[in-house]
Amino acid sequence: MTVTLLRSVLAACLFVVVGAFGVTGVANATLPDRTAHVAAAQPTESVQPGPEVDAPQQDQTGVTTETRRKLWIGGIALVLFALVYWRNKKRWDKWRKAKKAG
């Protein structure tokens, strides 16, 4: 079974599963009964339009130790990902050359 055929079979299976669990049909919209009373919230105080001039400000703490730790972990993960990607690319190129040669 080739990779292309396998992908086609998997795509067809996915299409069937999505079709089986998908919602089909036309929506049936009905108007609500207008005889019931609807309670709506009324404003209790008026709010001045525009931004608040004396809004509380957040403290400028800068970069915390937890943020630095997360940045280090993210950087290490990125370097490891790049190394694994580069290794796999080299192996793929080597395999492709060997297959092409013989």
Q: Torsion-angle region of residue 92: left (phi > 0), alpha (psi -120 to 50) or beta?
A: alpha
| Residue-averaged pLDDT of the chain | 79
**CA gap 5, 29 in Å, rounded:** 44
**CA gap 98, 102 in Å, rounded:** 6
Vertex 52: Cα angle to 47 and 58 (nearest 5): 130
**CA gap 87, 91 in Å, rounded:** 6
Confidence check: pLDDT of 73 > 80 = yes
The model scores a pTM over 0.95: no
The pLDDT tens digits for 11-29 are 886 777 677 666 555 556 6
In this predicted structure, what is the pLDDT of residue 87? Answer: 96
**CA gap 72, 83 in Å, rounded:** 17
Of 88 and 60, more confident: 88
Q: What is the mean pLDDT of residues 37-42?
A: 68
**Hunting for tokens 């790049």 — which residue is that?**
82
Confidence check: pLDDT of 88 > 90 = yes
Both structure tokens of 2: 């080739």
